[in-house]
Chains A and B, each alone.
Chain A
Amino acid sequence: SQKIEQNSEALNIQEGKTATLTCNYTNYSPAYLQWYRQDPGRGPVFLLLIRENEKEKRKERLKVTFDTTLKQSLFHITASQPADSATYLCALAVNSGYALNFGKGTSLLVTP
């Protein structure tokens, strides 16, 4: 069966450090992968999309890598801030391409 696995344990880091979150998947052949942010009680918010032919994508302090051989994506937040505290979700398309499946997410806490 298709699985999207993200670190289930919360990640606690100090302000200013780089946070690295991992997304591993099985039984997907994704042409792209998306990352979202979710705050408690709110809907997910899109952050980045990376395609299979892109090894790395950046947006301001965010960086995503995508290794289709390892079946893994890494999500980095550099110079982290307390406002970055949230749950970060990895998402892959279902076979038809008409929907995204989400991982359970990794909770990030950035402390001053």
Chain B
Amino acid sequence: EPEVTQTPSHQVTQMGQEVILRCVPISNHLYFYWYRQILGQKVEFLVSFYNNEISEKSEIFDDQFSVERPDGSNFTLKIRSTKLEDSAMYFCASSPAGLDTGELFFGEGSRLTVL
């Protein structure tokens, strides 16, 4: 069964360092998303991406965050200068069509620890 894959599964970084989280969405999906979940808290929306541009972003997704789809398969989240509060599980998700017609397919997440 097709699945969303994310790498790395766990990354430890020093505060102020740049981090890139990578995702391979399901191949025929058109919409891509990043969410994060701080330990013990809810799954929070960061950004959605469609037709090679950001379609929606939350207040969390400030200038230190960026997303890119550098080729036909990868979807990346970059955090330019990490802060302690960026420590969280980051989930990539994709969907084949608009959300009114179906579901989000989530990856298993990348755990980011900022020291």
Residues of A within 8 A of B (CB): 31-32, 34, 36, 38, 41-46, 49, 89, 93-94, 96-105
Interface size on B, residues (CB 8 A): 28
Question: Contact between A43 and B107 (Cβ–Cβ < 8 Å)?
Answer: yes
Contacts A43-B91, A43-B109 given; does A100 touch B100 at CB 8 Å = no
Contacts A42-B108, A42-B109 given; does A34 touch B42 at CB 8 Å = no
Question: Contact between B100 and A93 (Cβ–Cβ < 8 Å)?
Answer: yes
In the complex, how many angstroms separate the beta carbon of A44 from the nearest chain B beta carbon?
Answer: 5
B16 within 8 A of partner (CB): no
Can you list 22 residue pairs at the A/B interface with Cβ under 8 Å?
A34-B103, A36-B104, A38-B43, A41-B89, A42-B108, A43-B91, A44-B91, A44-B104, A45-B106, A49-B102, A49-B103, A94-B45, A94-B56, A96-B56, A97-B99, A97-B100, A98-B31, A98-B50, A99-B45, A100-B99, A100-B104, A102-B42
Question: Contact between A98 and B56 (Cβ–Cβ < 8 Å)?
Answer: yes
Contacts A42-B109, A93-B99 given; does A99 touch B41 at CB 8 Å = no
B93 within 8 A of partner (CB): yes
Residues of B within 8 A of A (CB): 4, 31, 33, 35, 41-45, 48, 50, 55-56, 58, 89, 91, 93, 98-100, 102-109
Contacts A42-B108, A99-B33, A99-B56 given; does A104 touch B41 at CB 8 Å = yes
A residues near B48, Cβ cutoff 8 Å: 98-99
Chain A, residue nearest B6 (CB): A43
In the complex, how many angstroms separate the beta carbon of B68 from the nearest chain A beta carbon?
Answer: 18
Residue of B102, B103, B107 with most partner-chain A CB within 10 A: B103
